[in-house]
Structure 1
Amino acid sequence: MRRRPGAALTAVLTAALTAAAVLTLPAPAAAAPGPSVAPQWWFDSWDVHSLWAAGADGRGITVAVIDSGVQADIPELRGKVLPGADFIGNGSDGRTDYDRSEFSHGTAMASLIAASRGFAGIEGLAPAVKILPVAVPLVNVIRRGEPPEDSTSKAIRSAADHGAQIISMSLGGPRFEARHSTPCPQDIQDAVLHALGKGALVVAASGNSADSGSPVEEPGVCLGVLSVGAVNAQLAVTDFSSRHRYLGVTAPGRDIATLTREPGSAFAESGTSHATALTSAALALIWSKHPRESARQILSRLLATVTDRGPKGRDTQYGFGVINPAAAIAAGPAVTTGPNPVLDAAAPLLALRRARATPPSPVAVASRPDAALGEYRIGARPAELGPSVYLPAAGSAVSGVLSLVLLIAAVRRRRRRRATAALSA
């Protein structure tokens, strides 16, 4: 997972990926694509080629990759990368990868999602999707200009406004209670809500910091974001994958082969970045097979069909479980109406946004001096979130939504009382 730079990040930068190895071996003869040193085992586990043959190949879906940019001219991605945006300040349209390292982070993630079979046999999980690249000033990117301070939130909004149904962010920055008043910065939470309001799904890495206490990471901690951890080929959570109470799901993230911006070059590395990209691609597969379903229904399919590992139900290591797109695609429509804790967590804030966007009645305006919910900030303060998400033993982060529900109910009751008083006068 790649870090975002910033005052709170540069001093606590940790290694984004583990176990790097340059790949030079040809693809094996086995069914799973990829090189023999790092076969793409999930193709066999999920019977991916059969899913493609049945029409679940990502067709009609746009996945935004918010990262270091995507090298659109490598053969395996040619024709699949749309003009995007650059919030690094380099003046590109996102179709250039500005990662200083050979690994080429943004291109690597895009290759896991959409690459046609090429060097070392590497294939993307959803080869028919379109990639919308949005470049942001991550640590270790080439910068020729000055990025905006709120580049991540602008990137999320841009992706949503330009038609991305899935927004994939293999990045994050730690948040600490001693330094930050909220687990999720308000501008990023607002941008996530904007994307959800547009009907998009937002996916982010949980972090690679299990060995350093698993600090809270944004944007993964933000309400409404699907936070993703990493497992190996045996579906065991990796040693580096951050443990969080808000973790959503886990996906393949150990020894994953990816392409770079240089044609004929690839790496095998590990990280929750890879798991995030594969989860985004899995959602694209599901959506392409069920194109009439809403974002909520697609995510409900994914959550209802995970392989539960560890303690029963949601836990800090696996979230709800390991993704299984084949099971999600095959499941009946009943799963689409099941619980969706990820999106339910953001529902009260989305309701507040709608309340702000709807002009209040003349009676309601006359009955109260404050603007509509003006004293309440969308970026909820810790007291409004309930038990602190920063503390491992403090209870579920999602449980804080109850506080928001109560707050909304109290505000509405207050408004009704004031309106009634105005009418009786």
Structure 2
Amino acid sequence: MRVRLVAAALAALVVTGVAATPAIAAPGLPGHPEWWFDAWNVQGLWDGGARGQGIVIAEIDTGINADLPELSGNIGSGADFGASDGDGRTDRDIDESGHGTAMASIMVSHASGPYSILGIAPEARVLPVAVPLVGTTYAVSSRFGDYLEKAIRWSADHDAKIISMSLGSDRDPNITKKSCTSTEQAAIDYAIGKGAIVVAASGNGGDKGSPVTEPGVCLGVISVGAIDQAGAVAPWSSRHPYLTVTAPGVNIPTVGRIAGQLYYGDGTSQATALTSGGLAVLWSKYPQLTSRQVVARLLATLDGAHSTRDPSVGYGTINIGNAVNASVPADAPNPVYDAVDPFLAKEKIAASTPTIKPAADKSELPGGFAVRAAPNTFTSGDGLVGIVVAAIGVLAFAVLAVLARRRRARQTRA
């Protein structure tokens, strides 16, 4: 996320020569309006009863400053995977722009005044799930392990309908050839299986070769790129064959983690937060829909829609106004979920298969796994467990567990 400070307070706007300007139709900051409010007729959506009510968004990020007046009443008690006594309601970002707080403001801010920054879903509830990321205040400690999978599972277990991840880790092809590690994919499968929609940033490496980014590459994830107000894809927005959609991500106004500070910035982080908030608006209009149907409705109403994924824009650009108001068939295609369905089915079958345990007097079977810690980073691992069953005269069972290679992947804010 690239951010610039606009003002420490409204008075600072005047002192620095940015005088009050005539009101614009969309909320936001001078020169940085939230133009999607006009393009999507957000006020009309709100007037029609779609304000994000009843929708819980889990934001996996740096935490959120829940004491800010712009966010009061919208931030629930979450989790902090870097502090045993934390609940996510503190932004751990070293930068005063406060990445987690900024993303929450895109979704649920309800500020008032001439320079208001309004979230697209002001009645949605956000669960802050803080994880140790580069640039946060967590002390270097060996107890920091790979918490991304845990954070996703925690979110799903705490009734999150949408899991928003404005973050990513560039895959190192020299370490692993897999697109998504088995642990991350399993956590995402778990969340989808519990009815959640998972959204992640595609990354800001479009001008640096567009490295593959987790968890955006994982199956079942809505991977989000960034466009500007003119509809052009930002040059730094990563191009990927797995990209799902694009959303506004250039000159996006946000609230900082320190009271009175306003920012504007660029990034697929912002585009991800806006997509997550937009999905909350959509779902609040159609609370009877399943997560699959909500995603299908989003994909059926994209601007500049493509029948196949385009590396720059995915299937197209989100338009929440269309998604709420258009007539969409109940069986509209959903290629995002279609791709992950076979794996969900296999996991469901595996989960229903009885587990056979050795008799109590038998010696412990060999095998296991270990999780290595890494300071201020996520680590992800691949595991392989083979079960061999043979019947020769009598039934014998052996379970082999093979330690898999571990890899480290530095997680960053997108």
Within 5 A, what are the aligned runs for 1:363-378? 369=390
Shift of 1:144: 4.0
User: CA 1:375/1:52 → structure 2, altered by over 3 Å: closer, same or farther?
Assistant: farther
Question: Is residue 238 from structure 1 mapped to residue 222 from structure 2 by the alignment?
Answer: no
**RMSD across aligned positions (CA):** 2.5
The DSSP-based 3-state class of the residue aligned with 2:27 is coil
Question: Is residue 22 from structure 1 mapped to residue 6 from structure 2 by the alignment?
Answer: yes
Question: Is residue 89 from structure 1 mapped to residue 83 from structure 2 by the alignment?
Answer: yes
Q: 2:316 maps to what in 1?
A: 321
Instruction: Choose from 107, 114, 128 the match for 1:113.
Output: 107
Distance 1:317 1:66 in 2: 25
Distance 2:144 2:351 in 1: 26
Shift of 1:89: 2.6
Within 5 A, what are the aligned runs for 1:18-417? 18=2, 20-23=4-7, 25=13, 29-89=23-83, 91-118=85-112, 120-144=115-139, 146=141, 147-308=143-304, 313-334=308-329, 336-359=330-353, 369=390
Distance 2:26 2:219 in 1: 36
The DSSP-based 3-state class of the residue aligned with 1:106 is helix
Q: Which amino acid is the alignment partner of residue 339 of structure 2? A: A
Choose between structure 1 and 2: higher strand proportion. 2
Moved more, 177-186 or 166-175: 177-186
Shift of 1:331: 2.1
Contact in 1 for aligned 2:3/2:97 (Cα 8 Å)? no
Contact in 1 for aligned 2:94/2:136 (Cα 8 Å)? yes
Distance 2:308 2:135 in 1: 38
Contact in 2 for aligned 1:27/1:35 (Cα 8 Å)? no
Shift of 1:31: 1.1
Distance 2:355 2:150 in 1: 32
Distance 2:34 2:148 in 1: 30
- Number of equivalenced pairs: 355
The DSSP-based 3-state class of the residue aligned with 1:128 is coil
Normalised to the residue count of structure 2, the TM-score between the two structures is 0.81
Distance 1:355 1:30 in 2: 55
Deviations 1:113-141 (A, max 9, x none): 00102462100000000000000011100
Contact in 1 for aligned 2:246/2:314 (Cα 8 Å)? yes
Q: Which amino acid is the alignment partner of residue 192 of structure 2? A: L
The DSSP-based 3-state class of the residue aligned with 2:29 is coil
Shift of 1:185: 1.7
Choose between structure 1 and 2: higher helix proportion. 1
The DSSP-based 3-state class of the residue aligned with 1:210 is coil
User: CA 1:191/1:148 → structure 2, altered by over 3 Å: closer, same or farther?
Assistant: farther
The DSSP-based 3-state class of the residue aligned with 2:121 is coil
Shift of 1:177: 2.1
Deviations 1:330-361 (A, max 9, x none): 12240x41211111111111111101111369
Distance 2:182 2:307 in 1: 33
Shift of 1:47: 0.5
Contact in 2 for aligned 1:150/1:187 (Cα 8 Å)? no
Shift of 1:314: 2.2
User: CA 1:313/1:234 → structure 2, altered by over 3 Å: closer, same or farther?
Assistant: farther
Deviations 1:159-208 (A, max 9, x none): 11001000000000001322114121221111101100110000000000
Contact in 2 for aligned 1:88/1:145 (Cα 8 Å)? no
Q: Which amino acid is the alignment partner of residue 337 of structure 2? A: L
The DSSP-based 3-state class of the residue aligned with 2:163 is strand
Moved more, 69-78 or 115-124: 115-124
Shift of 1:103: 1.0
The share of aligned pairs that are identical, in percent, is 48
Structure 1: runs of 5 or more not aligned: 1-16, 380-425
